[in-house]
Chains A and B, each alone.
Chain A
Amino acid sequence: MENQALLERFQNYVDAENKIEAKDWMPDGYRKTLVRQIAQHAHSEVVGMLPEGNWITRAPSLRRKTILISKVQDEAGHGLYLYSACETLGVDRDTLIEELLSGKAKYSSIFNYPTVSWADIGAIGWLVDGAAIVNQVSLQRTSYGPYSRAMVRICKEESFHQRQGYEIMIALAKNGNEAQKKMAQEAFNRWWWPSLMMFGPSDAASAHSGQNMAWKIKRHGNDELRQKFVDMTVPQAEYLGLTIPDKDLKWNEATGHYDFGEIDWTEFNEVVKGNGPCNKQRLQTRNKAHDEGAWVREAAMAYARKQQERQAVSAA
């Protein structure tokens, strides 16, 4: 049992909006939750490179290609910030990577959907990054200092991701020909519901929500963030002339929010369990890249060893 007095002191400290830093005392549950959440977040950044990487060689212009490369490069950087934040909690990077590669660790289910057309790249930037921003802006105020600082940095870099996606959508849905408009609408149909699922199960059904809110790891509920995303995104879809694939979606004068239809949680749970369209492919690709990159890691170590031996010889 953990010392009740320590737990109370910790809770009071968090309640007063203080941040916890790596060397501060923290409950085991707090540490465990953060390791799981930050690692999942890091894995999501890394796996998130795959659906977009699929289109780098086929981007429709050099301009779009350089932008997409930059965005994917950012995602790799975001993964690194988050793995580093996670390591401040006493886990090592290799263990985290191993858990991703073996399929033990989870990552955001959204990345298990395929990118079948160029419009999907626009939809991902606009919707998936848009939803991620809503979530991450909230997490800038998380109670764990290193995680909070990683979020601040990521949010700063993320804005361009959403804007480049929306720009692609403008080109296709607003200024494009009939075929391009159709392509944009189809991509929108594919990504709308999975984007809403990104915020996770309804707070009532979410296993960890209560304690995580009390510890201020999470600052806003899943439903509240999802509503915020819907309210922001509907006018953006209307500007593009896109139809939202939800017959129940309508403005609610009384609440000042958009009402929307029931999310298919069966689909969500299936994808989380590993039965989404691309789960196997994503893990295979990640494992292949890791295995094929092994020689680079070995060469770097061999080079460092050789340099050390040379220095030892010249010092002797």
Chain B
Amino acid sequence: MPANNKKDKRLVPHNANISVMSNSNWPLWEIFIRSKNGLAHKHAGSLHATDAKMAIENARDVYTRRMEGVSIWVVRSADIVASSPADKDFLYEPANDKVYRHPTFYEIPPEVGHM
């Protein structure tokens, strides 16, 4: 539960500034792979690397061994700003009562064809 998360030291906030690099703690990179041209890059997972170049090389080895991709994006995990699960209600709840944003809200007589 969110309230207890703060006590759990294993749970580092996603955007924590992990700028200090040690031999055992290379920065974490999020890896996005485009499986083919025309499709958007999709999050595949993450890995550790000393810099962007190594992150791409490692991502190539880790995530595209079976021709899964034609393009790789790497982003330092520390640079990702994520919304908080605790904000779920005020972020997404307002869309709940706006059912009129969906096409099915409107009745279109079958005789006029697809719309």
Contact = CB atoms under 8 A, between A and B. Distances in A.
A167 B98 contact: no
Contacts of B37: 18-21, 24, 145
Interface string A60-87: 0001001100100010000000000000
Contacts, number: 61
Interface string A220-245: 00000000000010011001000000
B112 A235 contact: yes
Interface in B27-73: 34, 36-40, 71
- Size category of the A interface is 20 to 34
B114 to A, nearest CB: 8
Nearest to A20: B37
A234 B38 CA distance: 35
Contact of A167 (B34, B36, B71, B106): B106
**Residues of B contacting A: mostly:** loop
B44 to A, nearest CB: 17
Contact of B115 (A18, A21, A149, A159): A159
A70 B111 contact: no
A111 interface: no
Contacts of B71: 21, 23
Contact of A67 (B38, B40, B100): B100
Given A21-B34, A235-B113, A239-B112, A167 B107 contact: yes
A99 B76 CA distance: 35
Given A24-B37, A160-B101, 8 more contacts: A21-B34, A23-B71, A148-B38, A159-B115, A164-B100, A166-B106, A232-B113, A235-B113
28 contacts: A18-B38, A19-B36, A19-B37, A21-B34, A21-B71, A24-B37, A63-B100, A67-B100, A70-B98, A74-B101, A145-B37, A149-B40, A159-B103, A159-B115, A160-B101, A160-B102, A160-B103, A162-B115, A166-B112, A167-B106, A167-B107, A167-B108, A170-B109, A235-B111, A235-B112, A235-B113, A236-B113, A239-B111
Interface of A: 18-21, 23-24, 63, 66-67, 70, 74, 130, 145, 148-149, 159-160, 162-164, 166-167, 170, 232, 235-236, 239
